[in-house]
Amino acid sequence: MYVEDLIGPETVNTMPEETMDAFQDHGEVALTLERDLDEAHRVFERIAEAGVDYDDVVVRLEQEGVQKFSDSFAELLDGVRAKRGELVSA
């Protein structure tokens, strides 16, 4: 749904496998990230007028995103440790 709108140089996008499959099936690869920048600037202006602090939102999203990746990595390591314990004791 959002994948095509976020394609641009020096970008990284993580997504579930189902999203990748859907994009491969019917998505279009094109440099879209910098399209209609004037409208994007107007959106940010309206967001500020509504009292939303963009910088605060970015900090929170970054913190939550890093925490989720950290939690996932810790879960992965726990799984590896558990599997290693199974194999060593076998």
Say which residue the tokens 């990284």 belong to: 12
If asked whether residues 50 and 64 sit together in one domain, one would say: yes
The verdict on 41 and 83 lying in the same domain is: yes
Asked if 74 and 64 sit in the same domain, the reply is yes
C-alpha Rg value of the chain to the nearest Å:
20
Residues 42 and 84 in one domain: yes
29 and 63: one domain? no
Note if the pTM is more than 0.75. no
CA distance 75 to 70: 9
What is the extent of the structural domain holding 3? Answer: 1-35
Do 22 and 42 lie in one domain? The reply is no
For residue 22, give Cα distances in angstroms to 30, 53, 82.
16, 34, 34
Write out pLDDT tens, residues 40-83.
Answer: 999 999 999 999 999 999 999 999 999 999 999 999 999 999 99
The number of distinct structural domains making up the chain is 2
